Amino acid sequence: MIDYHLLEALHAVISEGGFERAAKTLFITQSAVSRRIHHLESSMGEPVIIRNKPPMPTPFGQRLLNHYQQVRQLEIALALPNLDEQTKPSPPLLVKLATNADSLATWLPEALAVSREKTAQQYQFDIVVDDQSVALKRMKSGEVMACVCSSKTPVNGGKSLALGAMRYHIVASPRFVDTYRYSNPSELAKLPCLVFDENDKLQHQFLADLGAQSPTIVHYCPSTEGFLQAALAGLGFGLLPALQLANTIESGVLVDLMPGHWVDVALYWHYWQTESPPLMILREHVLAVASKRLESL
């Protein structure tokens, strides 16, 4: 079994940002901290820390830290069988989470705000925005505890649950529609098109499904809100989440270029089988909010 005192030292060095401060938190000497880290590395046969200022975990070290967090949460759950507001609150649980940008800009923050009635556990979120392939790599390496992405297949040791679908409509500003006349999807494909970044193939896919070519003039705009602002400013057409469009279509500041046509992108919550109780409560809250805000699959 792992010597958890060594993991505790690793955690302290990373969270405190140095060996000296870690020593203070652990009430041991700095050389004792160094010895524990060395011991951990020699017993694991792999480096766990990159000795920078501040020290950073190696991918393997990050995996150990993730494991350490989960074990600590299991311990906290043991000591606090009834999650009562009266009991002393446990320290915030650091939840590292990967997500696609559009979820973070729309429904996800509400889904992460678990009310205090549900749990005495405070969460502290470290959110990273990534395209799907990178997000799943972070999940595989144990760098994140959960991940929102459009791939259903769970990673080894993980599970996935359907959250619902984000619905995208193809829109442009009234000025754009007036300036650039087009009569079919192939002509539309030749007009300036908004694309999130080079990993975003949504517009390409949408046009291909209509039998059109790939867009020729592409603006890369890597911001969900910037994408909306770019559409409003008439820079190009693009697919925007219904959740973000709000009443822009009804009020006439944007035009739905193909009413009745949309793209649904299914989203999944990836998590570890060894899920601690606070993470289970978080997951249930995320699923409840997602089922309200997203389209059912």
User: By the criterion CB under 8 A, which residues form the site for a second copy?
Assistant: 92, 101, 104-106, 108-110, 112-113, 116, 122, 124-129, 179, 192, 217-226, 229-230, 232-235, 244
CB distance 146 to 160 below 8 Å? no
Judged by beta carbon, residue 109 or residue 174, the one nearer a second copy is 109
CA 19 and chain centroid, separation: 30
Tell me what percent of the chain is helix, strand and coil, each rounded to the nearest 5.
40, 20, 40
Three-class DSSP category at 97: strand
Q: How far is the CB of 4 from a second copy (least distance, A)?
A: 24
Question: 56 is written with which tokens?
Answer: 């950073």
Judged by beta carbon, residue 112 or residue 257, the one nearer a second copy is 112
Parallel, antiparallel or unpaired: strands 255-256 and 158-172:
antiparallel
Q: How far is the CB of 18 from a second copy (least distance, A)?
A: 15
Judged by beta carbon, residue 109 or residue 157, the one nearer a second copy is 109
Q: How far is the CB of 117 from a second copy (least distance, A)?
A: 11
Residues paired with 263 in a beta bridge: 168
Q: How far is the CB of 247 from a second copy (least distance, A)?
A: 14
Judged by beta carbon, residue 158 or residue 192, the one nearer a second copy is 192
CB distance 58 to 13 below 8 Å? no
Q: How far is the CB of 223 from a second copy (least distance, A)?
A: 4
Distance CA 21, CA 194 (A): 47
Judged by beta carbon, residue 244 or residue 276, the one nearer a second copy is 244
